[in-house]
Structure 1
């Protein structure tokens, strides 16, 4: 009897751990495809897992940060989903590449159009973003996840450094240090690479020239030796003929 009670208690505990674990990790999140550098452009995935066993996700609304507006926000088409981009006027216009931007995308909404995210599944929604701010270490994207049973989960709590993770944390995009060309590459590295290639080519030319000079010197030395050997042979033949004549 005691053994049965212990087994039952262990089973309940294990189930609780599994439930808590799945809940802790099944958050809407934003993940960069490559590097998301300050002042540059990036493509990110909004990853949406389904947390329910008896409902499917049919809608996702992602709000863009208003304190750091992005001039360019473009969703990549996702089969079975319809994307809608909402723009808003900016209180302070942005200047990008010499152009003044007076409005920016404030929200992107994906609605199921022949598809859905079922139990035990997840879906990724790609976004192209830019120009990323140079004066921020992260961007917070608040999200609303709607299920087909009308339930709405609000992923809007901003995580605080040093504090416990909120129950419904908002997706956060971490920004890395700025690159030289603001496009995720390194202009200086490319320049240095070109210089290295040029120097390498110069070195190869010098090596080829040195090898050619050495080859010419060897040929000349062999030619001189051949002439001396030939002259010696003629002299030897001349002296031998005179001895026979005597």
Structure 2
């Protein structure tokens, strides 16, 4: 009698291959989704704007107080400094401090100035003001390129100049629009008895919590791209799961079927 031999166990090669691919796709999806919070954390300063306003924005206006609000919307660290590059027609000698967060100081520089001090609370806007002796006469707008610094050393450069009929740049510089002197008659006068902000340069300004401006266009596009990639990978993962399930329910190759 010829001794019989037990057939060698059949190795479900297709199932193991599917499992390896499944683990690979799952790891890729986890890596992409896990990187989203890191990408948002690295881009914290890019989620806010610097806004500029003036009490008398008229070309050639004198003793005009300009107020800057540097938002920190969504940031996990506080602002420590705001540096402003003055536009053409204005120099450091033309401006003087008119208010800043408590404990912050004003420092004149070659091409502008900086206000800095102890870190503000995370997400809190840095509001400061300067008084300009006389605004330029030959322009209808002033761009103040601004760099903000956070307590962790990160900086946000709001230095891109907006162009007419073009989308807003990724990091727009704050722009103050000026009226012509002929149209200034319609501007309401300051009520009597209200002292100008420049009368007390050391007085701290109220620093509100940053108002949400939403994500910038570039940040939105990046997040949509990441979300789309994650969806595609998730669909692929679902397809692999379905294929593996069908393989397991089907007939596994045996020696007698070859």
**Range class of TM-score, shorter chain:** 0.5 to 0.7
- Name the CA shift for 1:180/1:121 in 2 (closer, same or farther; >3 Å): closer
Q: Alignment partner of 2:109: what SS?
A: strand
Whether the aligned pair in 2 keeps the contact of 1:157 and 1:168 (CA below 8 Å) is yes
- Name the CA shift for 1:72/1:53 in 2 (closer, same or farther; >3 Å): closer
Larger Rg: 1
Runs of 4 or more off by more than 3 Å in structure 1?
22-25, 179-182
Unaligned 5+ runs, structure 1 = 1-11, 13-18, 88-105, 187-246
Distance 1:53 1:24 in 2: 9
After superposition, where does 1:79-158 map in structure 2 within 5 Å? Answer: 79-87=102-110, 106-112=111-117, 115-158=118-161
Whether the aligned pair in 1 keeps the contact of 2:99 and 2:130 (CA below 8 Å) is no
- Name the CA shift for 1:26/1:176 in 2 (closer, same or farther; >3 Å): same
Whether the aligned pair in 2 keeps the contact of 1:49 and 1:121 (CA below 8 Å) is yes
Deviations 1:213-233 (A, max 9, x none): xxxxxxxxxxxxxxxxxxxxx
Whether the aligned pair in 1 keeps the contact of 2:80 and 2:116 (CA below 8 Å) is yes
2:86 aligns with 64
- Name the CA shift for 1:76/1:163 in 2 (closer, same or farther; >3 Å): same
Q: Alignment partner of 1:50: what SS?
A: coil
Distance 2:45 2:119 in 1: 20
**Per-residue deviation at 1:134?**
1.4
Whether the aligned pair in 2 keeps the contact of 1:76 and 1:125 (CA below 8 Å) is yes
**Per-residue deviation at 1:60?**
0.8
The answer as to 2:178 corresponding to 1:175 is yes
2:60 aligns with 39
Unaligned 5+ runs, structure 2 = 1-32, 34-39, 190-258
After superposition, where does 1:165-244 map in structure 2 within 5 Å? Answer: 165-179=168-182
**Per-residue deviation at 1:116?**
2.6
Distance 2:181 2:154 in 1: 40
Moved more, 144-153 or 49-58: 49-58
Higher RCO (C-alpha 8 Å, min separation 6): 2
RMSD, aligned α-carbons = 3.0
Distance 1:179 1:122 in 2: 35
**Per-residue deviation at 1:86?**
2.0
Q: Which has the higher strand share?
A: 1
